[in-house]
Amino acid sequence: MLTQFSIWALLDSLAEGAKWTVALSLIAFVCGGIAGLVVLFARVSGKRALTVLSKAYIEVFQGTPLLMQLFIIFFGLSMLGVDVSAWLAAAVGLTLFTSAYLAEIWRGCVEAVPKGQWEASASLALNYREQMRHVVLPQALRIAIAPTVGFLVQVVKSTAVASIIGFTELTKTGSMLANATFQPFLIFGLVAIAYFLLCYPLSLYARHLETKYHAAR
Amino acid sequence: MPLVKLRGVHKTFGSNHVLKGIDLDVEAGDVVALIGRSGSGKSTLLRTINGLESIDRGELVVDGVALDDGFGDLRTLRQKVGMVFQQFNLFPHLTVGENVMLALKVVKKTAHAEAGDIAKEMLLKVGLAEKFSAYPDQLSGGQQQRVAIARALAMRPRVLLCDEITSALDPELVNEVLAVVRQLAEEGMTLIMVTHEMRFAREVGNKLIFMHHGLIHESGVPRQLFAEPGTPELANFIGAVS
Amino acid sequence: MAYQFDFLAVFDYGDMLLKGAAFTLAMTAVGAVVGTAIGIAGGMCRAWKLHPLDWLFGAYVELIRNTPFLVQLLFIFFGLPSLGVQISEWQASFLAVVVNLGAYTTEIIRAGIQATPRGQIEAAQSLAMGRLQIFFHVVLRPALQKVWPALSSQIVIVMLGSAVCSQIAAEDLTFAANFIQSRNFRAFETYLVVTAMYFAMAWMVRYALNVFGRRVIVARKPQTRGA
């Protein structure tokens, strides 16, 4: 078998797949981050309708499988007459999924800002928006950095699910190679190592940020 | 007309009736000491005057601005009423100077340079001009509390509320903060303070208010009340804390 | 343009959906029980730095937490047979869930154990208790109480993630959905119904774990009068 598929050819194909894993992760993280901010602001707005709506949004995306979300987007969009590629469905699905998780993580960070900060800024006559903008968000942002980097690991891993709707990233590439070479142990081992190389540095960095933050307290 | 006027103010937390009808007049230049056991409602009373607690019933007027059960003129009220907290509550992500300048710039729309000048002036007043660029966590507790006072003063409030501002301080740092408050009192600043410093209340205050079970139980001139409490509750309280 | 929704076409296959849901719940239950047991052992080794077991558990945790569940599943199902280990679809799924959850619970329970106040352990030592006695009688329950919410949500996360087990043809709820939509050609309705089922199951599992936590993990003995 390995005469046909030399180890270098295998690694080359996997690297190509990994490129798409990275691309999808970045899109999900950036777009999901932007959408997550919108959901966050709705969630902490103090306005009843917005709070209920954003809470429901978060609960639905955190309470159902990502795979189902991708299926529904894939089939739902095509029902609406949109010609969906696996790429589009995966990008949209992972963006929504990521936004819900990030909004919830960030809400925790906003709520971790001590009550005294709200009171002190209120006593100085700042209104809600000014309190958020000048006092609460800058502090929440510092708390948020470590868990946000940590969640990036989850995003990278979640992109593997996109292989099931036919998006050719690292896992899908691995499955195809495993079928072609009859070397599943080797191939999926390599795929796992590739994910590990992508995720582990991020995990370490998140942990480093966390200790740094706690040391600074 | 009194600077701060409360009439029949009630406040309930759940089933806990904390303020049961407070009537209070504070004239410009008064230095009022609020004393009482914990749970007597003294901190809640102070916080209502800044609108940090809404009131369920009654009337609150500060310098002609009324705050009824709605939150109508809250922003105007808070510009007239400064507050200093037990836990300082400085903004940790801002320098000392930025802490003092923030509300000037955001609320009063003061230009950056002018806000900086005011901040320097206020920090000079509390003896911390050289700490302008330091961050709060680089200061001692006493210094942080003096910055908090400067921050409140920068808004040029008509009245300054102090909520147990020395309770979180190490004993040796209490006096530097009290000295600043004493100086403000001498300059004619209207002060309302919840305090456990009985000597300070007696020496600096011109009005003493003893809270008991959500009501003003007794009030009058500090020296007289300390010498001759009119009720057994106040006598007990003074006996217990001194 | 006017699409006619037809949910009845999904409910015709009600039995299949229920069987799939039962499979998913069983997998979650086994994962929760065995995974937590692994987590208790691993958490202790990690928190108390019992060499060399803590290194082994450390490597296990990092390996699992930094690779996707789907890849772990594919590795177990397709990879292990090439080592001569024959494994069926459902065995591979259950094993993958246990292995995955065990890594997360190790990390969660480790944090709970490390939060034990030093004085508690010193007090137990001064009473001449042995290491394992201290662990099981003094450390474990407060640690579990502390991390129970985190543990519960991780179990739910793993249940939702187990939807990918349909990929190796394990007959879970998603497998049922895939089968049904290939028969009734109502993909959107089918997946919508199944998504709602997952949502309800997630809620149920969270609720059950909550009750279990209150009744068993945090429970206090009824007070006895006298003495």
Confidence check: pLDDT of A1 > 50: no
The residue extents of the domains of chain A are 19-216
What is the reported pLDDT for B71?
Answer: 54
Per DSSP, C217 falls in state I
What is the reported pLDDT for A5?
Answer: 66
Task: Report the C-alpha gap between B10 and B55 in whole angstroms.
Answer: 6
What is the reported pLDDT for C225?
Answer: 63
What is the reported pLDDT for A76?
Answer: 86
Task: Report the C-alpha gap between B158 and B118 in whole angstroms.
Answer: 17
Confidence check: pLDDT of C219 > 80: no
Tell me whether residues B52 and A121 touch, CB distance under 8 A: no
Chain A neighbors of C202, CB-CB under 8 A: 63-64
Q: State pLDDT tens for residues C115-132.
A: 988 888 888 887 878 888
What is the reported pLDDT for C57?
Answer: 96
Q: Is residue B31 very low, low, confident or very high in pLDDT (cuts 50, 70, 90)?
A: very high
Superfamily of domain A19-216: MetI-like (1.10.3720.10)
Task: Report the C-alpha gap between A72 and A77 in whole angstroms.
Answer: 8
Residues on C contacting A at a C-beta cutoff of 8 Å: 1, 3, 62-63, 65-72, 74-75, 78-83, 156, 160-164, 166-167, 174, 177, 187-188, 191-192, 194-195, 198-199, 202-203
Q: Does B93 touch chain A (CB under 8 A)?
A: yes
When pLDDT is averaged across residues C85-98 and rounded to a whole number, the result is 95
Q: State pLDDT tens for residues C144-182.
A: 999 999 999 999 999 999 999 999 999 999 999 999 998
When pLDDT is averaged across residues B27-48 and rounded to a whole number, the result is 92
Q: State pLDDT tens for residues C10-66.
A: 888 889 999 999 999 999 999 999 999 999 999 999 999 998 999 999 999 999 999
Per DSSP, C222 falls in state P
Q: State pLDDT tens for residues A173-190.
A: 999 999 998 889 999 999
Residue A150 burial class via C-beta count within 10 angstroms: exposed 0-12, middle 13-18, buried 19 and up: middle
Among B87, B93, B107, the residue with its CB nearest the CB of A125 is: B107
Task: Report the C-alpha gap between B107 and B128 in whole angstroms.
Answer: 24
What is the reported pLDDT for C4?
Answer: 77
Lowest mean pLDDT, pick from A125-139, A191-205, C211-225:
C211-225
Confidence check: pLDDT of B70 > 60: no
For residues A161 and A172, is the Cβ–Cβ distance under 8 A? no
pTM of the model: 0.86
Identify residue A94 by its one-letter amino acid code: L
What is the reported pLDDT for C224?
Answer: 67
Q: Does B44 touch chain A (CB under 8 A)?
A: no
Chains B and C touch (3+ CB pairs under 8 A): no
Q: Is residue C226 very low, low, confident or very high in pLDDT (cuts 50, 70, 90)?
A: low
Residue % of chain B over a pLDDT of 70: 98
- In this structure, what token pair is assigned to residue C157? 């996360």
- Residue A43 contacts by C-beta under 8 Å, 6 or more apart in sequence? A50, A51, A54, A55, A58, A103, A107
**In Å, how far are C36, C72, C74, C171, C201 from C93, measured between CA atoms?**
17, 10, 9, 10, 18
What is the reported pLDDT for B146?
Answer: 95
Residue % of chain A over a pLDDT of 70: 96
Chain A neighbors of C164, CB-CB under 8 A: 67, 161, 164
Q: State pLDDT tens for residues A62-90.
A: 999 999 999 999 988 888 888 889 999 99
Q: State pLDDT tens for residues B158-168.
A: 999 999 999 99
Tell me whether residues B93 and A116 touch, CB distance under 8 A: no
Task: Report the C-alpha gap between A89 and A112 in whole angstroms.
Answer: 35
Tell me whether residues A184 and C199 touch, CB distance under 8 A: no
Confidence check: pLDDT of B125 > 90: yes
Subunits next to B (3 or more Cβ pairs <8 Å) are A
Average pLDDT, rounded, for chain A? 92
When pLDDT is averaged across residues C82-104 and rounded to a whole number, the result is 94
When pLDDT is averaged across residues A18-30 and rounded to a whole number, the result is 97
Average pLDDT, rounded, for chain B? 91
Average pLDDT, rounded, for chain C? 91
Confidence check: pLDDT of A2 > 80: no
Tell me whether residues C74 and A79 touch, CB distance under 8 A: no
Lowest mean pLDDT, pick from A145-154, B126-135, C4-13, C198-207:
C4-13
When pLDDT is averaged across residues B133-151 and rounded to a whole number, the result is 94
When pLDDT is averaged across residues A144-157 and rounded to a whole number, the result is 96
What is the reported pLDDT for B238?
Answer: 87
What is the reported pLDDT for C227?
Answer: 43
Q: Which domains does chain C have, with CATH numbers?
A: 23-170 (1.10.3720.10)
Q: Is residue C138 very low, low, confident or very high in pLDDT (cuts 50, 70, 90)?
A: confident
Question: b vs e for C97-117, b when ≥16 Cβ sit within 10 Å of the residue's Cβ?
Answer: bbbbbbbbbbbbbbbbbeebe
When pLDDT is averaged across residues A185-212 and rounded to a whole number, the result is 95
